[in-house]
């Protein structure tokens, strides 16, 4: 099995954290759709990372499909509950965290466009999504030790990677000041090698 992705992508990081938490061996092949001669479009028609290559050559994308697959194939350290309702609730955390990351990625890409093509309105629209998502994540976490239930789940991993991406690309946001309970969760998550060893960097 091979995971194709970059050291900066928050979606690839989420997948790497799940691999580590599940103790699944997987070769990490570094590639990015943003570099010349990238092999990614040949693996995923959408030209996006992560892509998981299975031993029989099956290609899995996107990260939500991959992490659900990984949790399902290894019985240890379950990260998704088995009942429909509980599972949906954990996946809703993931959808909110990933959606916040989507908005941050959109802003990062927009900021990279030439001055005369950049839209302040588009950036503001996505900034509002991030702010609302942070409020919702903080409200849902409350005083809880974990996002869902009594131990780490995919919800915590997705939130940890989303907050880590804000630190990486939008450090000016200072989400910790407004949401100390998210800061507390993030600090705890960062004590785990799975997250500490995958902090995004260029």
For binding to ligand GSF (CB under 6 A), which residues are involved?
8-9, 11, 33, 47-50, 62-64, 98, 105
Q: Nearest distance from residue 145's CB to ligand GSF, in Å?
A: 26
- Which among 123, 132, 128 has a CA at the least distance from the CA of 179? 132
Q: Nearest distance from residue 102's CB to ligand GSF, in Å?
A: 7
> Is 165 or 175 the residue whose CB approaches ligand GSF more closely?
165
Residue 130 to residue 121: CA distance in whole angstroms: 15
Q: Nearest distance from residue 200's CB to ligand GSF, in Å?
A: 8
> Is 62 or 131 the residue whose CB approaches ligand GSF more closely?
62
> Count of alpha carbons within 13 Å of 18, Cβ hemisphere only?
32
What contacts 127, CB < 8 A, 6 or more positions away? 103, 107
Residue 98 to residue 92: CA distance in whole angstroms: 10
> Is 34 or 180 the residue whose CB approaches ligand GSF more closely?
34
Strand, coil or helix: 2: strand
Q: Nearest distance from residue 103's CB to ligand GSF, in Å?
A: 11
> Is 62 or 86 the residue whose CB approaches ligand GSF more closely?
62
């Amino acid at each position: 099995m091979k995971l194709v992705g970059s050291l900066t992508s928050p979606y690839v990081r989420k997948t790497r954290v799940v691999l580590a938490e599940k103790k699944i061996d997987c070769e990490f092949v570094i590639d990015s759709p943003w570099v010349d001669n990238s092999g990614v479009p040949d693996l995923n028609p959408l030209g996006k990372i992560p892509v998981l290559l299975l031993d029989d050559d099956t290609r899995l994308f996107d990260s939500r499909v991959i992490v659900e697959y990984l949790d399902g194939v290894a019985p240890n350290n379950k990260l998704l509950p088995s009942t429909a309702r509980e599972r949906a609730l954990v996946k809703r955390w993931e959808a909110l965290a990933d959606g916040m990351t989507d908005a941050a990625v959109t802003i990062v890409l927009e900021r990279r466009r030439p001055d005369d093509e950049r839209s302040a309105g588009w950036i503001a629209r996505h900034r509002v999504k991030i702010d609302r998502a942070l409020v919702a994540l903080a409200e849902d976490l409350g005083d809880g030790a974990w996002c869902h239930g009594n131990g780490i789940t995919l919800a915590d991993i997705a939130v940890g990677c989303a907050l880590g991406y804000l630190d990486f690309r939008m450090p000016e946001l200072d989400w910790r000041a407004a949401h100390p309970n998210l800061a507390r969760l993030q600090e705890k998550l960062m004590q785990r090698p799975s997250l500490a060893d995958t902090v995004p960097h260029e």
